[in-house]
């Protein structure tokens, strides 16, 4: 008895530190602790024994009960609902049927094969068991009794119930009939009740969660995630975590947002600097639509086509350099940012034009006029965006039609000379006005001489029409 108590204590300590599950293929081992009662009476023998199952539940008159732990068992799940069990029992016999005897020692070792009917009941909390097996029993050593010092092999049949009140612990009750192969020892019933503890399940990854309940049996994990890991400890299991090695937020599928700008780091081109979602998480300090890391002027708003910098206006004429044909000289919008000739310049051009001479009644320019015309070319080229108008005029001598034709030809002749000497044709227009625009009287020789002239002017209408034509051609 002293040794049995030590065994029981060791078993309890072992079970206290063991995680167990219901006995099956994943949790094959079980240890049982309980008490047993031996009853010789209802075994169909002659007096002092009774008939089969006679007074079967008469615990007071016929049951031999040792008031302590008197049964230990170890069992192993085999498969298909079958469990092999090895058990050892002790008792003290003071009732042999109706006859009292002095205390005899009782020892039994049994090996059985049990079958669980629990699966037939949808794995409920009641687990009926039937079993068969064999064993060996010793009844011993009390002088003067003819049943003392007996031992015999037994053939056992068993019925029992396991009541599962948790996944790994069951209350067990059973009744086992032991048929004795020894004439001097009576066959008998042995009843037992106790507690069964299940253990020994498969835990491949060693995380304390058996494989049958582990959704990630190859990776150590946490119970709250059914055995799956949360490597970064952010409360989001790795299977659902887009960034399993970096602690993050559920709203970003487990990824961090280091700069707190509402853009998860994997989608943030600037994860250390708060920015805008439309800029993939990068800032745009000047609000010009060009993110700072691509903006050559991050503190000044500017267009993307100029790398985020404002367009310069070098000459300060209000016309941006990109639109200014003369970016270093102040001009006017009408001349694409280039300067326009002043009244003084036009006056100077006309002073030169007064010296232009033609052959009599012809449009041919005299050679002595070429120097004056070249001076006109030089002045015009100082204003590359200005369109000049060449107007031809005559006095009233001759017919109107003759004078009109002659004035047109002379104006065209001057324009041709200017073109041939470096003034683009698209910057020149010419027209003849005959005698229709006199500047002096035609009654005197002096007046008629003043009226025979070539004038250079700026014609805004012609300039605008010409520019519109250029744009449509471009």
Please state the domain extents for the chain: 2-199, 343-473
Please work out, in degrees rounded to the nearest 5, the angle formed at the alpha carbon of residue 93 by the alpha carbons of 92 and 96.
170
Structure token digits, residue 144:
């003067």
- The predicted-structure confidence for 159-213, as pLDDT tens digits, reads as follows 999 998 887 899 999 999 999 998 888 899 999 999 999 887 788 898 988 888 8
Are the beta carbons of 308 and 302 closer than 8 angstroms?
Answer: yes
Q: What is the sign of the dihedral through the CA atoms of 35, 41, 44 and 46?
A: positive
Structure token digits, residue 114:
């049990």
Inform me whether the pLDDT recorded for 241 exceeds 60. yes
Q: What is the pLDDT, as a whole number, of residue 430?
A: 92
Residue from 132, 134, 176 nearest 153 by CA: 134
Q: What is the pLDDT, as a whole number, of residue 44?
A: 84
Mean pLDDT of 106-123: 88
> Which SS3 state, helix, strand or coil, does residue 230 take?
coil
Please report, for residues 311, 329, 387, 463, the alpha-carbon distance to residue 324 in angstroms, rounded to integers and kept in the order given: 11, 9, 17, 17
Structure token digits, residue 89:
């029992």
> Which SS3 state, helix, strand or coil, does residue 330 take?
coil
Same fold for the pair 2-199 and 343-473? no
Mean pLDDT of 432-458: 89
How much of the chain exceeds pLDDT 70, in percent? 89
Please report, for residues 9, 21, 69, 168, 169, the alpha-carbon distance to residue 6 in angstroms, rounded to integers and kept in the order given: 5, 25, 11, 24, 22
Q: Is the pTM of this model over 0.75?
A: no
Please report, for residues 28, 200, 212, 227, the alpha-carbon distance to residue 207 in angstroms, rounded to integers and kept in the order given: 18, 14, 13, 7
pLDDT band, very low/low/confident/very high, at 472 (cuts 50, 70, 90): very low
Q: Which residues of 253-268 are buried (b: 16+ CB within 10 A; e: fewer)?
A: ebbbbbbebebbbeeb
Q: What is the pLDDT, as a whole number, of residue 23?
A: 61
Higher pLDDT, 344 or 470: 344
What does pLDDT average to over the chain?
Answer: 85
The answer to which of 115-119, 451-455, 456-460 has the lowest mean pLDDT is 456-460
Q: What is the pLDDT, as a whole number, of residue 24?
A: 67
Are the beta carbons of 1 and 107 closer than 8 angstroms?
Answer: no
Residue from 430, 448, 427 nearest 439 by CA: 448
Q: What is the pLDDT, as a whole number, of residue 83?
A: 94
- The predicted-structure confidence for 44-59, as pLDDT tens digits, reads as follows 878 788 889 999 998 8
Quickly list H helices, 25-93.
59-62
Residue from 86, 76, 83, 92 nearest 35 by CA: 92
Rounded distance, CA 232 to CA 238, Å?
8
Structure token digits, residue 452:
């025979």
Inform me whether the pLDDT recorded for 235 exceeds 60. yes
- Do the bridges between strand 388-393 and strand 428-432 make them parallel or antiparallel, or are there none, so unpaired? parallel
Residue 54 DSSP symbol: T
Q: CATH number of 343-473: 3.40.50.720, 1.10.340.30, 3.40.50.9100, 3.30.1330.60?
A: 3.30.1330.60
Q: What is the pLDDT, as a whole number, of residue 84?
A: 95
Radius of gyration over every alpha carbon of the chain, rounded to an integer in angstroms: 60
2-199 maps to CATH 1.20.58.760: no
How much of the chain exceeds pLDDT 90, in percent? 52
Q: What is the pLDDT, as a whole number, of residue 385?
A: 81
Higher pLDDT, 92 or 143: 92
Inform me whether the pLDDT recorded for 20 exceeds 90. no
Phi, psi of 103 (to 5 degrees): -55, 120
- The predicted-structure confidence for 92-112, as pLDDT tens digits, reads as follows 999 998 888 888 999 999 999
Inform me whether the pLDDT recorded for 130 exceeds 60. yes
Q: Tell the residue number behind the tokens 């002239």, with chain if given.
A: 453
- The predicted-structure confidence for 319-334, as pLDDT tens digits, reads as follows 888 888 888 888 787 7
Q: What is the sign of the dihedral through the CA atoms of 293, 296, 300 and 302?
A: negative
Mean pLDDT of 300-312: 90
Are the beta carbons of 64 and 38 closer than 8 angstroms?
Answer: yes
- The predicted-structure confidence for 371-399, as pLDDT tens digits, reads as follows 999 999 999 898 888 889 999 999 998 89
Rounded distance, CA 395 to CA 439, Å?
10
């Amino acid at each position: 008895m002293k040794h049995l108590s030590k065994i029981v204590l060791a078993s309890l300590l072992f079970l206290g530190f063991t995680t167990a599950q219901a006995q099956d293929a994943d949790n094959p081992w079980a240890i049982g602790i309980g008490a047993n009662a031996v009853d010789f009476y209802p075994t169909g023998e002659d007096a002092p024994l009774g008939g089969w199952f006679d007074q079967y539940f008469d615990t007071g008159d016929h049951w031999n009960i040792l008031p302590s732990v008197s049964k230990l068992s170890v069992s192993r799940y085999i498969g298909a609902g079958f469990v092999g069990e090895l058990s050892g029992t002790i008792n003290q016999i003071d009732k042999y049927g109706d006859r009292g005897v002095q205390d005899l020692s009782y020892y039994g070792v049994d090996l059985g094969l049990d079958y669980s009917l629990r699966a037939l009941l949808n794995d409920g909390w009641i687990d009926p068991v039937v079993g068969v097996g064999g064993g060996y029993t010793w009844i011993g050593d009390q002088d003067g009794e003819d049943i003392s010092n007996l031992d015999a092999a037994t053939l056992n049949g068993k019925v029992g119930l396991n009541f599962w009140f948790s996944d790994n612990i069951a209350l067990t009750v059973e009744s086992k009939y032991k048929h004795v192969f020894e004439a001097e020892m009576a066959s008998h019933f042995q009843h037992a009740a106790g507690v069964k503890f299940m253990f020994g399940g498969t835990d491949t990854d060693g995380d304390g969660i058996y494989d049958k309940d582990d959704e990630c049996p190859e990776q150590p994990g946490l119970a709250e995630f059914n055995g799956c890991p949360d490597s970064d400890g952010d409360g989001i299991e790795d299977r659902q975590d887009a960034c399993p090695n970096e602690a993050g937020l559920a709203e970003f599928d487990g990824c961090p947002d280091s700069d707190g700008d509402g853009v998860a780091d994997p989608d943030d081109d600037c994860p250390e600097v708060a920015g805008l979602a439309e800029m993939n998480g990068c800032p745009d300090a000047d609000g010009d639509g060009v993110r700072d890391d691509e903006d050559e002027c991050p503190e000044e708003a500017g267009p993307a086509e100029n790398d985020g910098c404002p367009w310069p206006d070098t000459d300060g004429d209000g016309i941006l350099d990109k639109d200014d044909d003369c970016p270093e000289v102040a001009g006017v919008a009408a001349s694409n940012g280039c300067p326009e000739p002043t009244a003084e310049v036009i006056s100077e051009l006309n002073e030169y034009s007064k010296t232009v001479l033609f052959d009599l009644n012809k449009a041919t320019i005299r050679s002595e006029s070429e120097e004056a015309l070249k001076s006109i070319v030089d002045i015009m080229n100082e204003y590359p965006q200005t369109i000049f108008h060449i107007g031809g005029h005559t006095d009233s001598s001759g017919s109107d039609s003759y004078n009109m034709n002659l004035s047109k030809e002379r104006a065209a002749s001057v324009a041709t000379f200017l073109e041939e000497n470096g003034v683009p044709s698209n910057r020149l227009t010419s027209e003849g006005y005959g005698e229709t625009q006199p500047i002096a009287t035609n009654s005197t020789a002096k007046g008629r001489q003043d009226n025979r002239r070539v004038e250079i002017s700026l014609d805004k209408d012609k300039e605008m029409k010409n520019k519109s034509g250029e744009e449509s051609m471009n």
